[in-house]
Structure 1
Amino acid sequence: MRHVFTTSLLCSMLFASCSGEKSDVYTIRGEIEGLPDSTVVLIIPLAHTSEAPLAETTVIDGKFEFTGTTDEPIASLLTVKDHYGSKRFILENADIDMSGNVSASESGDGRILYNFNDVTVAGSPLTDEYIVKMAPRYRIDSIMTSNQSTYATLIEQLHKAMADRNQTAIDS
């Protein structure tokens, strides 16, 4: 359900943006602390299936740059090759700047998990619109996560009662 909502929202934003003056190319300049030199960063389409990268470049002196063209705006992820974590944005023909820092932690399978929460995207009007339109959803997700944490024991007891078909425990 969440994916249908996100996809619908993105499609409506993309169609709404089809008017106005457009650049012919995109340039994405990034300066993100926490990404070591020689790290390969990718732009991949935000999709339900595994998609080939749209672009790939390497971090040098803490910076990276992508240049290219797209026929239409594409909901995308900036990610690190062969690792976890990403930054959502709308790839469009514009001058886009990404800055901030990432933190890294080890995952259980030997890959690194990069946290992109402190990375900002500037210069992409569609990304700005996406952030505004998705803010209520992220707020609701935050409330749900908080409630799940607060009531974790109660939820666990309810699931156990349901598995045991213990109606008395469920009712209590």
Structure 2
Amino acid sequence: MKNTILKSGLAALALMTAITSCSKKEEGFTINGNIPGQKDGIVYLELQDGDQTIVKDSVKIVDGKFSFTGKVEEPLRYSIKLKGQEYGKVFVLSNETIGFTAHKDSVYMAKLSGATQDSIYGSYYKNEFKKIQNVAGPIYKLSDSLSQNGKAKLTTEQQAMMDKKWKDLQTLADDLTFKFIKSHKDQLAGALVLDDRLVTYGTPEQVKEYFAVLSPEIQTSYFGKKIKEGIELNNKTAVGVAAPQFSQTDVNGKVVKLSDYKGKYVLVDFWASWCGPCRKENPNVVLAYKTYHDKGFDVLGVSLDDKKNLWEKAIAKDGLTWTHVSDLKGWKNEAAVLYGVKLVPTNYLVGPDGKIVAKNLREAELQSKLKEIFSKS
């Protein structure tokens, strides 16, 4: 009798588990929105897929309230915005009930409740990243003060002091970021922070190291796959490999090929007229060009501009006398996409044999590398 009851109980438990399991698979998300003061209108739910925005749903606002329901296969970045507004609130959407409250004039600052994945991800910026900013702020101010906003050259002692401060800041940032990723290796937040902070701003070695920490499930998620693609792309532009070939037109419409520079050392310099750090670095590149051009060094500027007049004005104003090319597609510049450029300035020093010798040589590093190369010749 006891055995029969036990079997019946186990059977019932198994049935309940199966039902619960099935019901969980069918569960989706619900977003309950409230925008006080916005009596009516249309609100959009959009998928943020890289640099693309795809409208997935839209609903009417009734007396300031709206609701979205649906299901996502895995947590991804979405945004909610009002019709006619350029920006919306970007967040990580997963299958759960989410509360959304915003002011009609600043929907991008909406407050969320119940968005678990987004909250975990956001905790990095509220804690670790804020600590980094608190240390970085005074260092940037000191640097601007000593250099008079880039107009004055630092003394040897000042440069040594600033180098140490920058190095210590980088160590702090790396330590806090790595600890966060490691402690969230089983959660999407680990991959998101890695994508945000290291894929663009870190070294290729760091990206590989941190990616290896993530759980297999997170590595094979949408964002994990994106990071892996970045790692594979970076391997194609690593030091020692042949530089990917490309061709684009110069300011006069003439086609220029990277292969035209075979036999020389050429700095492939990705920049843009609207990029402050690029313009600040330009005098350093000018100095390198003037010092080593007659010895076999050249520069090929690749602009991420989309307006030719601004591109040409920047070339003239900064005295950039080398060859410049662009397809005027902005961040979609085909050479930049080929090289996986995520920020500017970015540069690659290519040797006479067409292989990449060094990457991202800036300020004193560029002068030092060229001195090392041409002192041997």
Larger radius of gyration: 2
Which residue identity lines up with residue 83 of structure 1 in the other structure?
A: Q
Please state whether the residue corresponding to 1:66 is helix, strand or coil: strand
Q: Does the 8 Å contact 2:78/2:91 carry over to 1?
A: yes
Say if 1:140 and 1:44 are closer, same or farther in 2 by CA, change over 3 A: farther
Give the equivalent residue in structure 1 for 2:123.
Answer: 132
Give the equivalent residue in structure 2 for 1:38.
Answer: 40
**Which protein has the bigger helix share?**
2
Aligned counterparts of 1:103 and 1:77: Cα–Cα separation in 2: 15
In structure 2, runs of 5+ residues without a counterpart are: 1-23, 156-377
Aligned counterparts of 1:40 and 1:145: Cα–Cα separation in 2: 41
Give the equivalent residue in structure 2 for 1:58.
Answer: 60
Map Cα deviations across residues 121-149 of structure 1 (whole Å, 9 max, x no partner).
Answer: 12222122222233236526864896699
Map Cα deviations across residues 57-103 of structure 1 (whole Å, 9 max, x no partner).
Answer: 2221011111112222212222223313322322122211112x326
Say if 1:103 and 1:141 are closer, same or farther in 2 by CA, change over 3 A: farther
TM-score (norm 2): 0.30
Which residue identity lines up with residue 58 of structure 2 in the other structure?
A: E
Please state whether the residue corresponding to 2:81 is helix, strand or coil: strand
Give the RMSD, CA atoms, in angstroms: 3.4
1:98 aligns with 2:89: no
Aligned counterparts of 1:74 and 1:45: Cα–Cα separation in 2: 8
1:24 aligns with 2:27: yes
Map Cα deviations across residues 108-166 of structure 1 (whole Å, 9 max, x no partner).
Answer: xxxxxx2543x32122221222222332365268648966996797499433x2xxxxx
1:72 aligns with 2:69: no
Which residue identity lines up with residue 102 of structure 1 in the other structure?
A: H
Aligned counterparts of 2:26 and 2:134: Cα–Cα separation in 1: 39
**Which protein has the bigger strand share?**
1
Aligned counterparts of 1:146 and 1:103: Cα–Cα separation in 2: 32
Q: How many residues align?
A: 132
Q: Does the 8 Å contact 1:103/1:116 carry over to 2?
A: no
Aligned counterparts of 2:146 and 2:81: Cα–Cα separation in 1: 34
1:171 aligns with 2:154: yes
Q: Does the 8 Å contact 1:26/1:92 carry over to 2?
A: yes
Aligned counterparts of 1:70 and 1:157: Cα–Cα separation in 2: 51
Say if 1:150 and 1:171 are closer, same or farther in 2 by CA, change over 3 A: closer
Which residue identity lines up with residue 127 of structure 2 in the other structure?
A: P
Q: Does the 8 Å contact 1:23/1:94 carry over to 2?
A: no
Q: Does the 8 Å contact 1:22/1:93 carry over to 2?
A: no
Say if 1:157 and 1:124 are closer, same or farther in 2 by CA, change over 3 A: same
Q: Does the 8 Å contact 2:31/2:97 carry over to 1?
A: yes
Aligned counterparts of 1:23 and 1:52: Cα–Cα separation in 2: 24
